[in-house]
A = this chain, B = another copy of it.
């Protein structure tokens, strides 16, 4: 009887390594070579039924599962994908992450997450760090500069963006069609009879804010006046901006996001302003709580898990041999208008307005 396999590996002092069972232990137990164990587990080469049974028995007995670090080292790929999010507590990003995770899991990939805490300055470093552990990185709504993004694309083997378009689409991206979404909201409000709209702006640096601006320029016209006030992306921002929104004497307010709308809604309630009686209000994203407030929020539903799933698909494709700088894809996901209780016709306008022909 020989010494226990773990003995030879024992280390003294701190950090004493826990002796996990290795492929060699299994091979010894089954009375075969390590290579045979590997073949059974990976299924790369045929193995006789007898040996296969013995190996599987030994694996079950010892509870062996291969060390992915060693596998990765050998294969030069980790079978893991990194995801960078600005804030995990935001259900929007949590859902996107979920979409990536589920899709990746189906392809037997692990997911690593980094939360940058809304700090744009932390994104570049986090992505670089995560890329050491993974085969590539998915960036959610990155706020970094185009320059940093371009540099990152060079340093990270596989890079995909969500809600951000790299210059010259050098980086595969999955985008929400914000322009169509904003246009939908504008049309909805105009059909209700609104003629003066106040927009609560998001962060100026955000790519999605710039997309909204394009849509607003297109939607503004003689029958829809659009005024803008600076705001932000949090509910606290919305709460703060609510008074200014009221001061514009618009009959409808369009918030950058559901969060902003929720914050504004709270302020309106404090002020005794009735929504939608005195003022209609819209959000964007359709986060779960938008259905739980009163009135329920009219918003654009974004299929967030689909964003994640699409990001995974782009990531996955970008690994294919042929795709070397070839098919840099950009995928667009259209949001959908969910008209709920926070929008109605302004005072003095009949509830149902005849649709204008050639409407948007």
In the bound complex, do residue A262 and residue B15 qualify as a contact, i.e. CB atoms below 8 Å apart? no
So how many copies of this chain end up in the complex? 2
Residues on B with C-beta less than 8 A from A157 are 18, 20
How many Å lie between the Cα of A110 and that of B89 in the bound state? Answer: 18
Residues on B with C-beta less than 8 A from A17 are 75-77
A357 to chain B, nearest CB (A): 38
In the bound complex, do residue A133 and residue B155 qualify as a contact, i.e. CB atoms below 8 Å apart? no
For the side of the interface on A, what is the size category?
35 or more
Residue of B nearest to A19 (CB): B76
How many Å lie between the Cα of A70 and that of B133 in the bound state? Answer: 10
Residues on B with C-beta less than 8 A from A95 are 89
**A345 at interface, CB cutoff 8 A:** no
**A229 at interface, CB cutoff 8 A:** no
In the bound complex, do residue A133 and residue B68 qualify as a contact, i.e. CB atoms below 8 Å apart? yes
Residues on B with C-beta less than 8 A from A76 are 11, 15, 17-18
How many Å lie between the Cα of A289 and that of B258 in the bound state? Answer: 12
A200 to chain B, nearest CB (A): 16
In the bound complex, do residue A75 and residue B292 qualify as a contact, i.e. CB atoms below 8 Å apart? no
**In the complex, which residues 74-97 of chain A have their Cβ closer than 8 Å to any Cβ of chain B?**
75-78, 80, 88-91, 94-95, 97
**Residue from the set A18, A63, A291 with the largest chain B CB neighbour count within 10 Å:** A18
Q: 1/0 contact trace for A257-285 toward B, CB 8 Å? A: 00000110110010000000000000000
- 19 intermolecular pairs with C-beta atoms under 8 Å apart: A14-B321, A15-B76, A15-B77, A18-B76, A20-B157, A65-B129, A65-B132, A67-B73, A67-B132, A69-B69, A69-B72, A69-B133, A88-B97, A89-B98, A89-B288, A262-B292, A266-B294, A269-B294, A289-B289
If A101-B115, A269-B294 are given as contacts, then 7 extra A-B residue pairs at C-beta distance below 8 Å, sorted by A number, are A14-B321, A20-B157, A63-B155, A67-B132, A68-B132, A91-B91, A266-B291
